[in-house]
Structure 1
C-alpha cells in the first residue's frame, strides 16, 4: 500500500504533461501582430494596421482576410499561396500601382476579391490567374485606362465585375472574352465617347448593366442588341447625352431602366415603346420640361415612375392612360403647378406619390389629393401650396379644404373689335385675353373649326394671341378663341377681313380709243391702230441702225490703231467674146467687158 501511494503523484504529473503536449500540438498558429483574429471563425482583420507589405506568417486556415486601409504597394507572385481556404480577400484603400502576374495563384477557394481605391492603371493578362472560383471582383476607384484582350479569361466563373470611378479610355473587343457567366457589370468610362458594343458580345448571360460617366452625346441604334437576357439597365452621369435613338434599346426586354443625371430634354417615347415588360422607370435629374399625353400607353406593366429633380412644368391629361398598374409616381423637386386626377387611368391604384418641393397652385385641381390623403403615402413629405406661404393644405378638415381650394371659370375680356381688317400681304394679330382661377389655357379655331397649332403661317402664340402672317383673301372668316380651365370655358369670336390688292387699269390714250358697241364702258378695248404700229416700228429701226453705226465706228478706230490701211485698187479688164446669134454664123462674136477689182 505504501508503494502505491508513492507512485500516484508521479503518474499524475506524467498525465498532465501528455495532455499539455496534446493541446500544444492542436493550438492554431499565432495571429500576426497588429491584426485581430477571430476565434470561432478563422478570420484576420488587419485594416488600419499601417502595413507596408502583406504579413509573412498568416494562419493557413483563414477564410477571410482584411488588409484594407494600409500602405501595401506591391504583391509578389504567389503572395497568398498558403491560404488555400481563403474565400474573401480585401485589399482596398492601399497604394497598389501594379499587380504582378500569378499574384493570386494558390487561392483556389477565393470567392470575393476587392482591390478598390488603389493606384492601378492597367490590369495585365494573367493578373487573376488561378482564381477559377472567383465570383466578385471589385477594381473601382483606381486609375485604370483600359481593359486588354483576355484580361479575365482565368476567371470564367465571375458573376459580378465592378469597375467604377476609373479613367477608362478604351475597352478591347476581347476584353470580356470567357465571362459567359457574368451577371452584373458596373463600368465607368469617363473618357469613352461611345458604348463598347463589340465588347459586350461575349456577355450573353448579363442581366444587369450599369454604365456611368460616358462622354457620348447619343445612345446609338442597336447599342445592346447582343444582351438578350439583360433586365436592368442603369445609365447615369452622362452630361452630354441628349437623346436616345429610336432603335437604341431594340432587342432588350428590360424590367428596370434608369437614365439619371443626363441631358435629356424630353422623354424618349420612341425608344421605350417596345418595353412591354418594364416595371421600373427612372428619368430623374434630366431637364425634361413636360410629359405628353397618351405616349406611354405601351408600357403596360409599369408600376414605378420616377422623375425627380428636373424642370418638369406640366403633365398633360391622359399621360398615364394605359398604365393600369402604376402604383408609385415620384415627381418631387420639379416646377409643377398642379397634378390633376385625369392624368391617371386608375387613380385608385396609386399608393405612393412624391409631390413635395413643387410650387403648387392652391385651387380645385388638388381636391382629389385631399380625398385620397388617407390612402396615399407621400414619402419624403406632403405636398404644399406655394401661393399661401407653403402651407400643408392636407392638414385642414375636409369642409375647410373645399373652401380653400376653389376655382373660378374663365372669362375672355374684349381687347379689340370683333371685326379686324388687314391689307393683303400684311400680318394680322387677333388677341384673346382670358382670366380665371387657375389661369386658363387658350386655343384658337379657324373658320372651319379646326384647332390651330403654334406652327405654320397662321399660328397660335404663347401669350394667347393668334398671328396671321401674309394675310390672303382666303384667310378671311370668323376665328374662335376658347379659354378653358378646371372650372369651365369661355369663347369669343373675331371676324377677320382681308382687303385685296386693287387692279391697276392699263394705260390708254384718248386719241386711240374708238367707240365700240358694248354693254359697259369698262369693257371697251382699243382697236388695231396702223399709225401706232408704224411709229413703234420706226423707233425700233432707228435704235437698231444706231447700234450698228456705233459698232462700225468702233471697228474703224480699232483698225486705225492696228496699222495703216492701203487704199490701193487693182482693176483688171478682161475682154470676152460672145456669139452674135444664129444668123450671124459660127465665127461671129460680140465683145463684152468684165471688171475685177481688188482692194489692198
Structure 2
C-alpha cells in the first residue's frame, strides 16, 4: 500500500506540473503559479534572463536580481505577458526592440537600475502599454521619439533621474498619457515644448527641482491639465503673470518653495480652481480683494509659512470657501470680516500661531463646537489671563468677560493748527491707544488716504509730515484711529502762505528738494525755526579744507614744472642753419642750380 501511494503521488505531481506549465516549462530557480499564470524570479541572484518560460504566462517578476542587459527580442516568446517587472537590477543597457513581441504588455517596471540613456526604438512594439516606471535610474536625457510607439501609455514615472534635458519631441506619440511624474532631476527650466506633446495630460507632478522661476506660457497647450504639483523648488521665487495662462486647473500645489507673496496675477485666470496649497513658503500676508477671481475655490492651505496678517476681505467673493489651513504661522488673529460668509466655513486650522484671544477671535470660539479644527485645537498665546488655554476649554459664560477689546482713542485731542510760509516742513501728531493696537490713517483735504511715502506722508509712529509745504497743501487733514472695537478721529488745519517771488523756495526734482534754507514747524509750536545757511559747521570745515588742499596741489605742480624746465634750458640752441636749392626762374626743374643757406635766430 505504501509503494502504491508513493506511485500515485508521483503521478499526480507530474500531472500538476504539466498543467502548470502548459505550453512551456518553469525555470529551475523561479516559482510558477499556474492558477494566476505568474512566474516569480525575484531575488534569485540571476545574472541573465532565464529561459523556459511558459508561453501563457501573464506576469513575470525578475526584480532584485543582477541583470545587466536586456537583449533584442528578449521576451518575444511571451506574447500573452501583461506585466513585466525588471526593477532593482543592474541594467545599464537595453537593446533596440528589447521588448518587441510583447503586444499585450500593460505594465513595465524598470525602476532602480543604472540606465543612463534610452536608445530610440527600445520600446518598439509596446502598443498596449499603460504604465511605465523609469524612476530611480541615471537617465541624463530623453531623446526625440523615445516613446513614439506607446500610443496607449497613460502613466509615465520618471522620478529621481539625472535628467538635464528633455528634447522637444521626446514625448511625441504619447497622446493618451494622463499623468507624468518628474522628481529630483537636474532640469534648470520647464520643458515647455516637450510637455506640449502630451495633449491628454491631466496630472503633472514636478518635485525637487532647481528651477528659479516659471515664465509666461510655461504650460501651453495642456488644456486638459487639472492637477499641477510643484513642490520643493528651493530657488523658485516668482511666477510670471501669464505663467499659468490657458490652464483649467482644479488643483494647484506650489509648496516648499521660496515665494514671498501669493502670486495673484498668475492665479487670476484659474476660475475652475477648487484646491490651492501654498504651504511652506515665506508668504507674510494675504491681501484683501485679490482672490475674488477664484470663484470656485473651496480649500486654501498656507501652513508653515510666515503669515503675520490676513486682511479684512481677503476671501471676499469666495462663496464656496469651505476650508482654511493657516497653521504654524505668525498670526495673532483672524477676523470674521476676512470671509465672504463664515457660515460656509467647515474646517479651520489655526493651531501653531501666537493667537491673541480678544474680541477678534470671539467668532471662532463661539463656533468651536460646529467648526472642525481637524483634531488640532487653537491655543491662546495672550493675554496672560488665558495663556495656553485651548478654545474647547472655555465655557460660554466666561467668553464675554475674557474675549474683549478696548476701542481706539486718540490721546492728545488739543487743537492743532499750523500757519506757515511756503517751503516749511510741518508735523502733525496723532497718537492713540486701544486693545488691539489701533491703526492710524490720515485723510487729506482732498479726501484721499495718505501713504507712507511721498512729500506728504505718514511716519511709522502715526505722525503726519508735510515736507516743504506748498500753498495748495492748505486745508483740513483728518486722523482716523481704529480697531475692531471702535474708531476715533481728529482734524487738524494747515495754512500755507506764499513767499514773494524774489525769495527762493525749495524745488522738487526727482523725489528730492533743492532748498536754500530748512524750516520745520510742529503744529503745537508758535515759533518758526530756520537756519540761515544750508550747511552746518562740520560741512563748512570739510569743504574749506578740501579747497585749501586743492590749491596747494596746484601750486606744487607749477613749481615742479618750472624746475624741470629750468634744468633743460642750457641745452637749447638759439640758432638754426637751413640749406636749400632754389627753383630756376624758367621752371625747368632747377638742374645745375646752386644751393643756398641761411641762418635763423630762435627766440
Pairwise TM-score range, normalised by the shorter structure = 0.7 to 0.9
1:209 to 167, 185, 204: 204
Unmatched tracts of structure 2, length 5 or more: 505-572, 577-603
Aligned equivalents of 2:432, 2:174: Cα separation in 1 = 65
Alignment correspondent of 1:26: 19
In 1, the alpha carbon distance for the partners of 2:499 and 2:178 equals 75
Q: What whole-Å deviation, never above 9, does each CA across 1:37-72 have from its counterpart, x for those lacking one? A: 546423344444444444444444433333334433
User: How many residues are aligned here?
Assistant: 500
Q: Residue 457 of structure 1 corresponds to which residue in structure 2?
A: 455
Report the counterpart of residue 528 of structure 1 in structure 2. none
Task: Please list the CA deviations of residues 291-349 of structure 1 after superposition, one character each: whole Å capped at 9, or x if unmatched.
Answer: 11111112111111111111111111111111111111111111111111111112111
Segment drifting more, 408-417 vs 18-27: 18-27
The answer as to 2:177 corresponding to 1:182 is yes
Check the 8 A contact 1:168/1:188 in 2, yes or no.
no
Map of 1:153 onto structure 2 = 148
Pairing 1:517-532 to 2, within 5 Å after superposition: none
Q: State the 1:426 CA deviation.
A: 5.3
Is 1:444 paired with 2:437? no
Is contact 2:427-2:466 (8 Å) kept? Answer: yes
- For residue 96 of structure 2, what is the aligned residue in structure 1? 101
Partner residue in 2 for 1:127:
122
Alpha-carbon separation, structure 1, partners of 2:281 and 2:344: 27
Q: Which residue of 2 aligns with 1:548?
A: none
Determine the structure 2 residue equivalent to 1:315: 310
Deviates more, 1:436-445 or 1:89-98: 89-98
SS at match of 1:202: coil
TM (norm. structure 2) is 0.75
Structure 1 position 385, deviation (Å): 1.3
On the 8 A contact 2:117/2:142 being kept in 1, the answer is yes
Whether contact under 8 Å (1:183, 1:208) holds in the other structure is yes
Tell me if the contact between 2:471 and 2:497 (Cα under 8 Å) persists in the aligned partners: yes
**Which residue is equivalent to 1:336?**
331
Aligned to 1:43: 38
> Cα 1:399–1:175, aligned 2, differ >3 Å: closer, same or farther?
same
Question: CA–CA distance in 2 between the matches of 1:152 and 1:505?
Answer: 82
Please say if 1:363 is aligned against 2:361. Answer: no
Q: Mark the CA change 1:60 to 1:462 in structure 2 (over 3 Å): closer, same or farther.
A: farther
> Are residues 287 and 40 of structure 1, via their aligned partners in 2, closer, same or farther at CA, if it must alter by over 3 Å?
same
Q: Hey, what does 2:193 align to over in structure 1?
A: 198
1:397 aligned residue? 395
Residue 349 (str. 1) matches residue 347 (str. 2): no
> Residues 251, 15 of structure 1: CA spacing in aligned structure 2 closer, same or farther, 3 A cutoff?
closer
Q: Once the two structures are superposed, what CA deviation does each residue of 1:231-282 show, in whole Å capped at 9, x if it has no partner?
A: 1222222222222222222222211122122222222222222222111111
Distance, in Å, in 2 between the alignment partners of 1:263 and 1:192 is 18
Mapping of 1:228-243 within 5 angstroms?
Answer: 228-243=223-238
**Kept after mapping to 2: 8 A contact 1:169/1:189:** no
3-state SS of paired residue (2:380)? coil
Aligned 8 A contact 2:20 2:33 in 1 = no
- Which moved further from structure 2: 412-421 or 127-136? 412-421
Aligned 8 A contact 1:84 1:106 in 2? yes
The 2-side partners of 1:227 and 1:505 are apart by: 68
In structure 2, distance between residues paired with 1:411 and 1:294: 28
* Aligned counterparts, 1:151-300, within 5 A: 151-188=146-183, 190-300=185-295
Residues 449, 23 of structure 1: CA spacing in aligned structure 2 closer, same or farther, 3 A cutoff?
closer
Cα deviation for residue 174 of structure 1 reads 1.1
> SS of the residue aligned with 2:193?
helix
Cα distance 1:477–1:213, how it changes in 2: closer, same or farther (>3 A)?
A: same
Question: Contact 1:118–1:142 at 8 Å: present in 2 too?
Answer: yes
In structure 1, the partner of 2:537 is: none
Q: Which structure 2 residues correspond to residues 55-66 of structure 1 after superposition, within 5 A? A: 55-66=50-61
